[in-house]
Amino acid sequence: MTGSDDEGRAEAGDTIFDLTTGQFPRDARWSVLSRFTELGTPSSMLGPALETSTEAQDAQTRPRSKSRPAVLVFLVLLVVTVALQAASGAYKSEFGSYPDEPAHYVTSLMVREYITSGTPAWPMQFAENYYAHYPKVAFGHWPPLFYGIQALWMMLFSASRVSVRLELAVTTAVLGFSVYLEAKRWLRSKWGAYFAGLLTVCLPLVQASTDEEMAEILLALTCFWSAVCFARYIQSERPRDAFWFAIFFSLAVLTKGSGWLLVFVPPIALVLANKVRLAFKASFWMAAGLIAICCLPWQIMTLRVAERGWTGGAGPSVSYTVNAIQQFGSIAVSIMGPLLAALTLLGVIATAGLPFIRFRRCDAIPAAMLALILADWIFHSVVPAGVENRKMIMAVPGLVLFLVAGAKWVAASVPAGRFSRFRFPAALAVITVIFAVQTFAIPRHTRFGYIEAAKFITSTPSLRGATILASSSNLGEGLLISEIAMREPRPTDTIIRATKALAKTDWTGTQYRCAFTSAPELVDYLNRSQIKVIVTDDFPPIANFEHSRLLAEALRDNPENFRLLRSFKSPSLPGSVQIFEKQPPAPF
């Protein structure tokens, strides 16, 4: 058997590696085994998987059972997602799991208010006025799609905490359902598909993102759909599939700038699938043109603003990339846990590595999923936006699919005779136990006390329409703004952030300069200002701001000027939220 003959047979078939049987085409089995043995892998590890599978024979003879309605699968995923959110405390906590959450919420709320207000004001004028009252608007730093979807949801339902958390839960359930559909199509196993969808929504990284008022889940969803559409394009070469790839690519970029990682998917996938010739087709470049039209104008307008959020340097560097590659690799392993990560790697080898070694090509779906994982890894290792677990969430669907593929391959490798039909369910059961023991955890939300503080301020008649100074060395500024905005979406109060009024800071807080040198100087400023209410906290600081120390000293040493109205103790952290009212000057 010559290499050219093998490649010809591979090109003629639609499937290089059959996960239903856990084997390669019969004429390729021993050639692949020989090639893999040459690379140093014991043939005993592969032999059983390359034998004829009785599982496939049984599947052909027994009647195909009627599958459950897809809507039931989605509802189960949604119920599980909401239950995990409730267990974490997401429905009773502030938007305080990540510093950007309050800005996302207030921006979505602002978009809703603009649409529903019927105001003739220009969008920028409306945004500037809204920011003057609630200075936590991030439109421009992030693209508009996430805010548009949330604003529409708020219009249909409400802007309450429960409503917003449910919108995030629905997005996560859609992600899990999408993985379920692709697993069912690729792996041809309903149990494998059920498991893939359920595992997706139960992963701690996905749970954490579902609990946060962030765009990561929507970004993971659009990136996954884009990669799936590109796999369809590799298989069919139809312009329609290239068009949908471009649409979901554009939606990903318009959700968050990290969506540009999809640039790496076509070259990697085309090489793995041995379809580089598609890069010379008109349909491929029409898709590229559509992406450019949809995405480049926004990217060019906001690039400088987005760069302010980079925490790994002013631009790409070799040192950052080398370090980030290692750290993101560790994060990828931690998503599943070491044992399941090893099985995931085995799935990559079985469905992409071995076919590529033998035939110089692999099937479209594993090619696209591996390309998505590598694209996520490469992009975030090059762009110095900082190393965080959440930046690998776009790789989660691919990792889940390869994990289930690895389990199916291992199950097909185990001789079981008449019990062969139970091999794969048994493998999934073992994976479930490993996941439960080694990986599964429910994130816990922190309650700060700003919910109660906002209720007090908005329900006290004497404080309505007040100018409020929010000061915190933790997350308090954003928490107070988002909580008051939730209760008063059309602002009556004006909130001033201490990091802007009492100091000069950049977007990330790395550049900082206090505007005052002493507490008496700060007291004099407060007495001359229109500020009526001061809200501060004494939680463990994230940053040691000098203005926070001076303000605490001023409030402590001048009780005649600043009266403590209420204090709300956090049930989760040492410390409390304090509300002070500035007293009028004493008459002469």
Yes or no: say if 478 and 99 are a contact pair by the CB < 8 Å rule: yes
d(CA 137, CA 141): 9
> Quick one: which of 71, 214, 263, 433 has its CA closest to 206?
214
**Of all helices (H) and strands (E), which one includes residue 60?**
helix 54-61
pLDDT tens over the chain, length 588 residues: 444 443 333 343 345 556 555 554 544 443 433 333 333 333 333 333 333 343 444 444 444 444 567 999 999 999 999 999 999 999 999 999 999 999 999 999 999 999 998 866 788 899 999 999 999 998 878 899 999 999 999 999 999 999 999 999 999 999 999 999 999 999 999 999 999 999 999 999 999 999 999 999 999 999 999 999 999 999 999 999 999 999 999 999 999 999 999 999 999 999 999 999 999 999 999 999 999 999 999 988 887 776 666 655 567 889 999 999 999 999 999 999 999 999 999 999 999 999 999 988 999 999 999 999 999 999 999 999 889 999 999 999 999 999 999 999 999 988 877 777 889 999 999 999 999 999 999 999 999 999 999 999 999 999 999 999 999 999 999 999 999 999 999 999 999 999 999 999 877 667 899 999 999 999 999 999 999 999 999 999 998 899 999 999 999 999 999 999 999 999 999 999 999 999 987 665
Q: Give the bridge partners for 568, in sequence order.
A: 577
d(CA 62, CA 194): 21
> Quick one: which of 103, 509, 108, 542 has its CA closest to 309?
509
> CB-side exposure of 241: number of CA atoms within 13 Å?
15
Q: State the distance between the two ends of the chain, measured CA to CA, in whole angstroms.
A: 106
Pairing of strands 562-569, 576-582: antiparallel
In the structure encoding, which two tokens stand for residue 132, read together? Answer: 């003057």
Quick one: how far is CA 301 from the chain centroid?
Answer: 24
Backbone angles phi, psi at 422, to 5 degrees: -95, 0
pLDDT of res. 31: 40
d(CA 202, CA 297): 37
In the structure encoding, which two tokens stand for residue 542, read together? Answer: 């994230």
pLDDT of res. 252: 98
pLDDT of res. 207: 98
Burial class (CB in 10 A: 0-12, 13-18, 19+), 474: buried
Backbone angles phi, psi at 439, to 5 degrees: -120, -45
Yes or no: say if 473 and 512 are a contact pair by the CB < 8 Å rule: no
Buried-exposed string 202-214: b where 16+ CB fall within 10 A, e elsewhere: bbbbbbbbbbbbb
Tell me the per-residue pLDDT of 247-306, one tens digit each, with 9 for 90 and over. 999 999 999 999 999 999 999 999 999 999 999 999 999 999 999 999 999 988 887 776
Yes or no: say if 205 and 443 are a contact pair by the CB < 8 Å rule: no
Backbone angles phi, psi at 534, to 5 degrees: -120, 125
- Please identify which residue in the block is written with the tokens 């014991």: 42
Q: What angle do CA 273, 277, 280 make, to 5 degrees?
A: 135
d(CA 211, CA 232): 32
List helix spans (H) across 488-579.
Answer: 498-501, 519-528, 546-557
In the structure encoding, which two tokens stand for residue 222, read together? Answer: 């659009």
Measured CA distances, 128 to 112, 137, 314, 336, 488 (Å): 15, 9, 28, 44, 17
pLDDT of res. 303: 77
User: How many Cβ atoms from other residues are within 10 Å of residue 426's Cβ?
Assistant: 14
> Quick one: which of 309, 371, 331 has its CA closest to 100?
309
Question: Concatenated DSSP letters for 120-185?
Answer: -S-HHHHHHHHHHHS----BTTB-SHHHHHHHHHHHHS-SSHHHHHHHHHHHHHHHHHHHHHHHHH
In the structure encoding, which two tokens stand for residue 514, read together? Answer: 């206090």
Pairing of strands 467-471, 494-497: parallel
d(CA 132, CA 50): 68
**Of all helices (H) and strands (E), which one includes residue 81?**
helix 70-88
462 CB contacts (<8 Å, ≥6 apart)?
Answer: none
Backbone angles phi, psi at 378, to 5 degrees: -65, -50
pLDDT of res. 587: 61
> 3-class SS at 63?
coil
Tell me the per-residue pLDDT of 478-525, one tens digit each, with 9 for 90 and over. 999 999 999 999 999 999 999 999 999 877 667 899 999 999 999 999
d(CA 115, CA 162): 22
Q: How many helices (H) and strands (E) does the chain have?
A: 25, 7
Q: Is the dihedral of CA 125, 129, 135, 136 positive or negative?
A: negative
Task: Say what the pTM is.
Answer: 0.88
> Quick one: which of 474, 524, 483 has its CA closest to 502?
524
